[in-house]
Amino acid sequence: MRSRSVPAAVAASPGLPVDVVPIALSVDLVLLTVRDDQLCVLLVRRGIEPFRGRWALPGGFVRPQEDLAEAAVRELAEETGVRRRPAHLEQLATYGAPARDPRGRVVTVAFLALAPLSQAPVAGTDAAASRWAPVAGAGDPPGLAFDHQAILGDGLERARAKFEYSAVATAFCEPEFTVAELRRIYELVWGGRLDPRNFHRKVTGTAGFLVPTGRFTTRDGGRPAELYRRGDAGVLHPAMLRPTARPNP
């Protein structure tokens, strides 16, 4: 049952059993940012078959001596000109359905990245084009290439869930930001409104979430708001639950 006459020439490596079938491994990125008061995802237009001309998540094949996260950052730079490491980068999941790529067996490791727009201005070099697409309606009529629509959905759900119990939302913010700006991020990611007073109480009352700078700004109009920086808190105790996630009443 084990050996199934795979030519030794395609064995992945001399040290491995000859019946090990090599697989192409790629990385794909769900890079999110906030732009024009909308949650946006970075897409690239495919310049080659398959799915030529369709929009897809940025990504590419892993090189022989490259770690996975490293490959993700490199592809991001190559395809979009985004050079700086995103403020937040984490592995999302690995997608390996046998038929997900018509060219052959390609398994992809998806990453979720969050960055403020200023860190990711977008200037593609490799792909035919790249753009920020509002996540509502990303890849609308034809859908994204491959299974990227599903990957995007999983990435969004991961981001929404992580907003509840962690402080990653600050990854979307500039170094200094107001409570209202952070609240707007939450509202865009979760969809819906949050009470400004309760939100303010929560984020300023959670140790390590925000660090006050003592300086103020009026860039949002109205009374001057204090500027904060990210704190060092990774997780929130207790969590901030999204209003929609209330199955009881």
Partner DNA sequence: TCCCTTATCGTCGACATGACGATAAACCGG
Partner DNA sequence: CCGGTTTATCGTCATGTCGACGATAAGGGA
State the DSSP code for 194: -
Any contact of residue 18 with a copy of itself (CB under 8 A)?
no
- In terms of phi and psi (left: phi > 0; alpha: psi -120 to 50; beta: otherwise), the region of 197 is alpha
245 binds, among a copy of itself, DNA, none (CB under 5 to 8 A by kind): a copy of itself
Q: Which two tokens stand for residue 30?
A: 């769900």
**Chosen residue from 137, 205, 221, 238 binding a copy of itself by CB under 8 A:** 238
Any contact of residue 249 with a copy of itself (CB under 8 A)?
no
Any contact of residue 145 with a copy of itself (CB under 8 A)?
no
Beta bridge partners of 225: 217
102 binds, among DNA, a copy of itself, none (CB under 5 to 8 A by kind): a copy of itself
* SS3 category, 50: coil
- The least distance separating a copy of itself from the CB of residue 219, rounded to whole angstroms, comes to 33
229 binds, among DNA, a copy of itself, none (CB under 5 to 8 A by kind): none
- The least distance separating a copy of itself from the CB of residue 243, rounded to whole angstroms, comes to 12
Contacts of 155 (CB under 8 A, 6+ apart): 30, 32, 41, 92, 110, 112
- The least distance separating a copy of itself from the CB of residue 137, rounded to whole angstroms, comes to 28
Instruction: Give Cα 227 to chain centroid, integer Å.
Output: 26
Q: Is the dihedral of CA 56, 49, 53, 143 positive or negative?
A: negative
Residues 78-137 that bind a copy of itself (CB under 8 A): 91, 93-94, 96-98, 102-107, 109
Any contact of residue 24 with a copy of itself (CB under 8 A)?
yes
Q: Is the dihedral of CA 164, 176, 85, 144 positive or negative?
A: positive
Separation between Cα atoms, residue 13 and residue 8, nearest integer Å: 10
Q: Which two tokens stand for residue 189?
A: 């990611």
- The least distance separating a copy of itself from the CB of residue 224, rounded to whole angstroms, comes to 31
Any contact of residue 157 with a copy of itself (CB under 8 A)?
no
222 binds, among DNA, a copy of itself, none (CB under 5 to 8 A by kind): DNA
Looking at beta carbons only, is 39 or 71 nearer to a copy of itself? 71
Any contact of residue 241 with a copy of itself (CB under 8 A)?
yes
Separation between Cα atoms, residue 202 and residue 168, nearest integer Å: 15
Which residue in 132, 225, 222 sits closest to 181, CA to CA? 225
Binding site for a copy of itself (CB under 8 A): 9-10, 12-17, 19-25, 61-68, 91, 93-94, 96-98, 102-107, 109, 207, 237-239, 241, 245-248
